[in-house]
Amino acid sequence: MVTRWKLQVRGLLWMTRLPIVCVCRVFLIPQVLAKSVRYVYIVRPMSYTVIGKPLRHLEGRAKVTGKAIFTADVALPGMIWGKALRSPLPHAQIVSVDTREAEQMSGVLAVLTAQDLPDVLTGRVVYDTPVLARDRVRFIGEKVAVVAAEDPDIAESALSLIEVEYEELPAVFDPKEAMKAHAPLLHPDYKSYLHAPEKFFSDIPNVHSHVTWEVGNLEEGFAQADRVFDHTFTTHSQHQGFIEPHASVVSVDSDGRAHLWITNKMPVRAQKLLADAVGIPQEQVVVHPVFIGGDFGGKGSLMDSPLCYHLSKRTGRPVKMVMTYTEELMAGNPRHPATISLRTGVTQDGQVVARQAKVVFGSGAYAGFKPVPFVNIPGANQAAGVYGTPHVRIDAYSVYTNCVPGGHVRAPGDLQVNFAVESSMELIAEALGDDLLEFRKRNLLKDGDLLPDGHRLEHVRVDETLEAAIESSNWGKPKTGPHVGRGISASYRHIGTGEANGQISLEPDGTVKVITPVPDTGTGAHTVFQQVVAETWPLPIQKVRVEAKPELFETDSGAGGSRVTYVVGQLFKEMTEELKESVSHVVAEALDCQVGDVVFEDGQYTAKGVERSMTLAQVAKFGLGKTELSIRKTQVNRDKPQVTTFTAQVIEVEVDPDTGQVQILDLVTAHDVGTIINPIGHQGQIDGGVIQGIGFAMIEEVAMEDGQVSTLHLGDYKLPNIKDIPPLKTVLVQEEIGPAPFHSKAIGESSITPVVGAIANAVYDAVGVRIYDLPITAEKIYWALKGQNANVE
C-alpha cells in the first residue's frame, strides 16, 4: 500500500499579475513504485546550494550590452555578400538560366547556378534538397541562382538581371490531392535518396514517410465500444517566429578548410552536413560558435551555408548570406499543416477503449528539414492524448506538396494532434451527456499504461496536474458575462534522448572549465551546466566556467527535443564526479595521505590528520604534468525515461458576439515538475511557450494560396506583442522525481501544446461555435454565429 503524505504550499510566490502557485506533493515509500522502473526515485529535501536558485544567465552581460555576437554580426576582412534568386513558380521545369548580364554588373563577383555546383542533395536526415534547383523547381521561393557582390544591395540588384526560362508543370498543394492516383509526383526517385528510411516507404503517391504506432488490437477495441465517433480537424502552418532570420558565413582558407558561422543549434552536425553538401571531408569544416537568436526547433539546417561555401571558394573571399524575413516566411521551415482524423470507440459507461488516428502532414516540397530518422512528425504519436486507451492505431503520412517545406517547431506535431484530441474529447462527452471534466478524469493515463508508441509510463501525475489547474482556475464558478467560456486541455511531453559530449578540466587558476558543443539558444542551458557542476562538487558558481566549442567534437545531438538538461546535464554531473576523483588522487599525493582521507571543505582540500590545506589552484599546479586533470567524454543516452511531464490548462475567454473577437480573460497552466534547476529559465520557458501557443491558436498563419505565401512580412504575419498577453497563472505540481540531474525534468516544450485546444473548447463554451479548422479567427466565429461557414460565401 502506498502511503500518501501531502504537503501543500499555496500562494508561495505572488507577483503582480504573474502568480506562481507551488503545489508540492511528496510521495513517500517509493519502493512500491520502484519495482517496475529502471531508476530509483529519491525524495529528498531541497537542500541544494546553487540548484534551484534564480541565477542570472551567464551570458547575460553580453546580451544586455549588445556585445553578444550573432551570425549576422560576424565581420571578416574582405567579406562579401550573397543573395539568392528564388522561383516565382510552384512547380516548373527550368529550361535555361542566363546570368551573363548579372555577371557584368559592377560590384558583382560571382553568379552561380546548379550547373556550377556538384550534383549533390542535402538534408537533416534524408538528402532530398538541392543546394540550387537543378532541373526543376518545386515551390515558390526555391533557390535557383546566387550572386556574390561587394554589398548586399548590389547583390540584390544583380538578381533582377538574371533571366530564367521556366516551363510550368502541374502543381499540387493539398496533401490529400497529392495522395491521389494521378497527382503529379514531386520526387519520383525518392526511394533512391540517401538516408531515405526504407521501413517507412509508402506506395501512396507523394507519401515519403508512413509511420504506424500501434498498441492493443484495434478491432477488439472497437468491438468493445458501444458508440463510435468520427471527427476530423485541420491545422495551419506557423513560423517559428524567431526574431533573428537564418544567416551563414563561410570563409574557405588557403588550406581549403571551410570556416563556418551559422544560425544552427546543432553546430557539430552542421559540420558533417556541410561537408556532405559540398563534397569535402568533415575535418575540413570548422564551425565557430555564435549566439543564436531564437531557435524553437527551426534552426537545425544548413540553409544558405553551402552557397556561401561555393561563393567563397569561387571568389577567395569570406561570404555572408542573411535571409530577409520575407525569405523566412516564404522559404523557412514552418510548422506542418495537418489533417487529423480520429475514430474513437467509447463504452456505455464513458470509457474510451479504442482510437484510430490518421494524421496527414503537408511536408512541402522537401523533407530535408525533418530531423528524425523516420522523416515524419513525431508528435503524431500523441493521438490518444493523456488518456489511457488500450487499443490504438495511429497512421502518420508525410506528403510532398508544392508548398514551402515544413520543419520542426516547438513540440512538432503535438499541437496539431492535441487540438484534435482535446476537441474530440469534448464532442464525445457532450454526445454522451457526460461531464467534461469527469469524462476526462475517468480516462486519464495511469501508472503502467502504455503510450501508443509502446512506451510504458510510470509515476503518472496527470490527475494531480489537471486537478491543480482546475483548483487554481474559475472552472465551475459563476461566469462574469453571457459570452464568457472556459476550456480545459491537457498534454504530455517526453524528456528527450540523444548523444552528449563534453570536456571538463581543472584550470591553473583553480576554476573548473566545462566545454560543450551545445549552444545556449536562450534557454539558459549553459547556466544549467554551470549549476550542475557547481552543485556536484560543490563549488561557488563563479568557480565554474562554461565555453561552447563545437569545433572540438565530431558528433553530437546538439540542442532540441527537450533533451539538453537531461542528457548533457547528466553527462556533466558524472564527469564532475570523475574529475573530483582524479583531483582527490592528486591531493592525496601532495598531502601524502590516503585518497579516502581527502576532504574538501570551504573551497580548500585537506585530509584527516593533516595540518596543511590546498586551494584548487594549488592542486592544479601540483598535478600539472603528473595527472591529467581534464576529462573528455561521449555518452549516448537512448533510454527514454518512463517518467514524462504533464501539462494541464484552463483558459477563460470572452467572445464578442457581434464581431467574433476572442479575448483571453484568464489562463492557468499547471505543470508536473521535478526539481527546478533555475527558476528564471524555467518560468521563461513556460511563459514563452504559452504565448507562442496563443499565437498559433489565434493570430499566426503562414497563409498560402496555390503555394504562394501571402503573409510575407511581420506586418502581415502577426506575432503576439506585449499587449496581447493575458493574465497568466502558473501552477507547479512539484515532486523531486525526474530523470535529469538532481531529479529535474524537461520544460521547454510543455506549455505550448494544450493552449490551442483549451482556447477552442473555451470558445465553444462561450458561444457554441466548435472550431474544426485552425486558426481560431474572429472571422470564422463571426460567420459561424451567422450560421454560415467562413469558407463558403
Partner 1 sequence: MSSNKEIMQTIQLRVNGDEHSIEVPPRRLLIDCLRYDLGLTGTKEGCSVGVCGACTVLMDGQLISSCLALAVFANGRDIVTIEGVARGEQLRKIQNSFMDNGGFQCGICTPGMVISAKALLDENPNPSEDEIKEWMMGNLCRCTGYYQIIKSIQEGTAELADA
Q: Is 398 in the site for partner 1 (CB under 8 A)?
A: no
Of 47, 348, 721, 791, the residue at the interface with partner 1 (CB under 8 A) is 721
Indicate the residue among 339 and 473 with the shorter CB distance to partner 1: 473
Kindly tell me which residue out of 25, 39, 48, 73 binds partner 1, with binding defined by CB under 8 A: 73
**What is the DSSP pairing of strand 544-548 with strand 645-655?**
unpaired
Q: Which three three-digit cell numbers place residue 723?
A: 499587449
Q: Report the b/e string of 615-631 with b at 16+ CB within 10 A.
A: ebebbbbbbeeeeebeb
Residue 250 beta carbon to partner 1: minimum distance, rounded to whole angstroms: 18
Residue of 38, 67, 191, 456 interacting with partner 1 (CB under 8 A): 67
Distance between CA atoms of residues 366 and 580, nearest Å: 48
Cis bond before residue 30 (omega within 30° of 0) = no
Strand partners, 23: 733
By residue count, the chain amounts to 793
| Residues in 630-689 at the binding interface with partner 1, rule: CB under 8 A | 680-681, 683-684, 687-689
Cα–Cα distance for residue pair 131/267, rounded to 1 Å: 19
Q: What is the 8-class DSSP label of residue 743?
A: G
Q: Which of 268, 728, 771, 774 binds partner 1 (CB under 8 A)?
A: 728
Half-sphere exposure of 218 (CA within 13 A, CB side): 16
C-beta of 326 vs 344, nearer to partner 1: 326
Rounded Cα distance between 209 and 367, Å, is 9
Q: Among residues 339 and 751, whose Cβ is nearest to partner 1?
A: 751
Three-state DSSP class for residue 5 = strand
Any residues with CB less than 8 A from the CB of 788 and at least 6 apart, and which?
A: none
Our finding on whether 3 is near partner 1 (CB under 8 A) is: no
Q: Which stretch binds partner 1 (CB under 8 A): 66-74, 280-288, 361-369, 507-515?
A: 66-74
Q: What residues numbered 207-266 form the site for partner 1, per CB under 8 A?
A: 240-245
Residues 77-96 within binding reach of partner 1 (CB under 8 A):
none
Residue 699 is a binding residue for partner 1 (CB under 8 A): no
Binding of partner 1 by 703 (CB under 8 A)? no
At 107, which helix (H) or strand (E)? none
Q: Could you say which DSSP state residue 353 is in? A: E
192 binds partner 1 (CB under 8 A): no
Site string for partner 1, 137-166 (x = CB under 8 A): -------------xxxxx------------
To partner 1, the closest distance from the beta carbon of 418 in angstroms equals 19
Residue in 470, 482, 772 with CA at minimum distance from that of residue 653: 482
**What is the side-by-side order of every strand in the sheet holding 630-637?**
544-548, 512-516, 498-506, 630-637
696 near partner 1, rule: CB under 8 A: no
Q: Which of 227, 608, 713, 786 contacts partner 1 by CB under 8 A?
A: 713
Among 465, 642, 692, 777, binds partner 1 (CB under 8 A): 692
**Dist CA 735 CA 757 (whole Å):** 27
State which of positions 491-530 bind partner 1 (CB under 8 A): 521-524
With vertex at residue 439, the alpha carbon angle to CA 655 and CA 232, rounded to the nearest 5 degrees, is 60
Quick note: the x/- pattern for partner 1 over 303-332, rule CB under 8 A, is -------------------x-xxx------
558 lies in the binding site for partner 1 (CB under 8 A): no
- In the bound complex, what is the minimum distance in angstroms from residue 619's beta carbon to partner 1? 31
Q: How far is the CB of 594 from partner 1 (least distance, A)?
A: 45
The C-alpha cell of 658 is what?
Answer: 457581434
Which one, 197 or 726, has the nearer CB to partner 1? 726
The rounded distance, in Å, linking the Cα atoms of 260 and 256 is 13
Number of residues that bind partner 1 (CB under 8 A): 69
Residue type, 591: L
**For residues 295 and 765, which CB has a smaller minimum distance to partner 1 in the complex?**
295
> Which residues partner with 654 through β-bridges?
484, 663
Q: Is 294 in the site for partner 1 (CB under 8 A)?
A: yes
Q: How far is Cα 293 from Cα 282, in angstroms, rounded to an integer? A: 26
Residue 372 as a binder of partner 1 (CB under 8 A): the answer is: no
Nearest distance, CB of residue 297 and partner 1, angstroms = 12
Q: Which one, 236 or 265, has the nearer CB to partner 1? A: 265
Spatial separation of the C-alpha atoms in residues 399 and 186, rounded to whole Å: 10
Does 298 bind partner 1 (CB under 8 A)? Our answer is no
Q: In the numeric block, which cell numbers belong to residue 585?
A: 588522487
List residues binding partner 1 (CB under 8 A). Answer: 15-18, 54, 56-57, 59-70, 72-73, 75, 106-107, 150-154, 240-245, 291-296, 322, 324-326, 521-524, 680-681, 683-684, 687-692, 713-715, 719-723, 725, 728
